[in-house]
Structure 1
Amino acid sequence: MAKTAPKADDHDTDLDGESEEHPAAEEPEEWVVKAADSKTKQFHTMLAGGTSAAITRFASQPLDVLKVRFQLQLEPLGPKGTHSKYRNVVQAARTIYAEEGLLSLWRGHNPAQVLSIIYGVSQFWIYERLRYISKNTPFLKDHKNFSTFLSGAIAGSTATTITMPVDVVRTRLIAQDVNKGYTSASKAIVTILREEGVRGCYRGLTSSIIQIGPMMGSNFMFYRLFSRSAEEYFQVDNRGQLPSWMLLAMGSTAGLLSKTLVYPFDLIKKRLQIQGFQKNRTAYGANMSCWGIIQCFQLTVQKEGVRGLYKGMTPTLIKSGWMTGLHFGLYDKIFSILQKIS
């Protein structure tokens, strides 16, 4: 009886196109083909990651603007925020549109787009490489869920460190008053380096790593768990063959679960990123001065209560579910299409 080839757990498990057989059993010509296939798959990984990130960023930018405005507002949201600048998602969107115009809902989009593309390319490439390495590591090979979580956490943390200066610029462009502050992303970088030094470009990095590590690890882990069940149900060989609505649903659910776990650290990161920049945002209410994660946590709870740590949660959950689902779904579909074309 012919031996049935085992089903691949993910398309990333064969990223380098290497056989489990000993290299000496391969013909030289086959190794050349495998080397070319490895480079092609890595290129497809980066192209799919960057493209899916760019599309997702454009679609979700208005929700990101709302989230940042809510996170930086010290005044209460909801019914208690009678005199607050922003009170809820609909009212905030209308206010921004009336006072600043429709395009303001995409304020900071250019640096955000650069951030998303670089982040998407580096995150998925690093993740795929780590997953391949984990296949050949005894402990990680036998603990797939932990391996997926660890690979996602390291990939997300590394990509965050790479893109942090762009994230700081994006946050400040969204937060600043109209006709105040920076006139462009490039001038923002120059000004920050001149006035605050390199450290200014990495404000909020620690809280960001604390947030992104477990969040991205959870994202990948939940998504892979859901994927394996869906592949069995639909009887397909890999995620790229699943219906688009299923990929979107799995990604959205993974995003909602992971974001809820680490949201307070995202709020703290945003508040740390505007330190030293408060003079350019006076039209949105009071500003908080804090110079570390612990102090920022303490002041937030002291002035706004524990609920203050979850300001902006509504647009964040909408954005996170929508953005994660779209990002993962597009990545798998684009990767699958590129593989078929090649």
Structure 2
Amino acid sequence: MQTEARVGAVMDGRGSAAGGAVVVDGGPSRKLITQHRHQSQIGTVPQLLAGGVAGAISKTCTAPLARLTILFQLQGMHANAASLKKASIWQEASRIVHEEGFRAFWKGNLVTIAHRLPYSSISFYAFERYKNVLQLILGVESQGENITADLCIRLVGGGLAGITAASVTYPLDLVRTRLAAQTNVIYYRGIWHALQTISREEGIAGLYKGMGATLLGVGPNLAISFSVYDTVRSYWQSHRPDDSTVLVSLACGSLSGVASSTVTFPLDLVRRRIQLEGAGGRAHVYKTGLFGTFSHIIRTEGLRGLYRGILPEYYKVVPSIGIVFMTYEKMKQLLSDID
């Protein structure tokens, strides 16, 4: 869920990936710095648009794996965990094709795009604002003066930006989960029907089910991503300084995605299940809040129950971040030329 925010924050904070060049001391450095500052001043709107488009394209390309992840996460919610078969990605994918058709892999993708565009835009914008405020508070005039302060600014700023974006766009995320979780029985006919039905049957508060788990997972997700990305990237560049910046960013970004997903996946699973509480008039399963839901899953399904669907999640993370990086770079290049 936080990939695009993470990508935009890292690339903007590091400078090298966004600017396409590494500034070194010497005569040409002033020219490159001037160009980078000029791009930052005129590129705010194109950057937001590029991030939103990159997120939408990435989500569309990895939608089949995203839906498989959701379906696996929900296994055991309305069934006896002991009777569940061992999760098989290919069996579930075959079932979707035979019972629902190939297009069902993209079920709920329209609301995903509707959610991702504003989510990415708010993330980028909020990160810039939070970063400026934190720089003033810590007395950091420019990036690179203090590595510890820079890392702290990126971690806190990225976490606050993710929380802000998630809070504003959360109802769309909940609707996306419910649409993707539908199999043969169609209860919600679309975005607006789902929003209206949930509001009518569960109240306005129903649109924010699972928000606590979401906000709780946003901070650690971005913190781990930034830490892993910066550490591995610095180590890589110190040992292989001539490697392609794009290649290094893709590899380190993918690794950071896998690391953050591994740690925060249980929170994501709990969030999905709480979002499905009461969907389609079904009985409530978890009635004791966030921590009670954790306890219920561990008691009935074991610790492995918290990681149902982690395999398709891994398969999704690497291409998703790769597509985001490539699309983001290309969109920025095209929009800069137009500008």
What TM-score bracket applies, with the shorter chain setting the length? Answer: 0.7 to 0.9
Structure 2 unaligned segments of length 5 or more: list them. 1-11, 20-35
Deviations 1:18-60 (A, max 9, x none): xxxxxxxxxxxxxxxx999665221122012101101101011
So what's the TM-score if we normalise by structure 1? 0.78
Q: Which of 247, 264, 267 pairs up with 1:265?
A: 267
Shift of 1:231: 6.0
Instruction: Write the letter of the residue equivalent to 2:15.
Output: H
The aligned counterpart of 1:26 is none
Q: What SS is found at the alignment partner of 1:309?
A: helix
Shift of 1:14: 11
Shift of 1:180: 2.6
Deviations 1:209-240 (A, max 9, x none): 1112210232234334445556664469xxxx
> Is 1:242 equivalent to 2:242 in the alignment?
no
- Contact 2:131–2:153 (CA<8 Å) still a contact in 1? yes
The aligned counterpart of 1:131 is 131
Change (3 A) 1:328 1:198: farther
The aligned counterpart of 1:315 is 312
- Contact 1:123–1:159 (CA<8 Å) still a contact in 2? yes
Change (3 A) 1:172 1:86: farther
Shift of 1:300: 0.4
Q: Which of 211, 214, 220 pairs up with 1:214?
A: 220
Distance 1:288 1:321 in 2: 33
- Contact 2:277–2:284 (CA<8 Å) still a contact in 1? no
Report the number of matched residues: 306
Instruction: Write the letter of the residue equivalent to 1:288.
Output: V
The aligned counterpart of 2:205 is 199
Q: What SS is found at the alignment partner of 2:62?
A: helix
Shift of 1:329: 4.5
Using CA pairs under 8 Å that are at least 6 residues apart, name the structure with larger relative contact order, 1 or 2.
Answer: 2
The aligned counterpart of 2:108 is 108
> Is 1:96 equivalent to 2:93 in the alignment?
no
Instruction: Write the letter of the residue equivalent to 2:99.
Output: E
Change (3 A) 1:210 1:279: same
The aligned counterpart of 2:47 is 45
Q: What SS is found at the alignment partner of 2:43?
A: helix
The root-mean-square deviation of aligned C-alpha atoms, in Å, is 3.4
Deviations 1:81-116 (A, max 9, x none): 896478311111111111110011111111011111
Shift of 1:173: 0.8
Q: Which of 11, 14, 17 pairs up with 1:10?
A: 14
> Is 1:184 equivalent to 2:200 in the alignment?
no
Instruction: Write the letter of the residue equivalent to 1:101.
Output: G
Shift of 1:11: 3.0
Q: What SS is found at the alignment partner of 1:183?
A: coil
Shift of 1:122: 1.3
Q: What SS is found at the alignment partner of 2:95?
A: helix
Query: Where do 1:21-170 residues align within 5 Å?
Result: 40-74=42-76, 84=84, 87-138=87-138, 142=146, 143=148, 144-170=150-176
The aligned counterpart of 2:26 is none
Shift of 1:154: 1.1
Shift of 1:195: 1.6
Shift of 1:289: 3.5
Distance 1:67 1:158 in 2: 25
Distance 1:136 1:12 in 2: 23
Deviations 1:230-289 (A, max 9, x none): 6664469xxxx823x433222211100111111110000000001111546xxxxx9833
Change (3 A) 1:179 1:278: closer
So what's the TM-score if we normalise by structure 2? 0.79
Structure 1 unaligned segments of length 5 or more: list them. 1-7, 16-33, 281-285
Instruction: Write the letter of the residue equivalent to 1:258.
Output: S
Distance 1:228 1:338 in 2: 30
User: Whose Rg is larger?
Assistant: 1
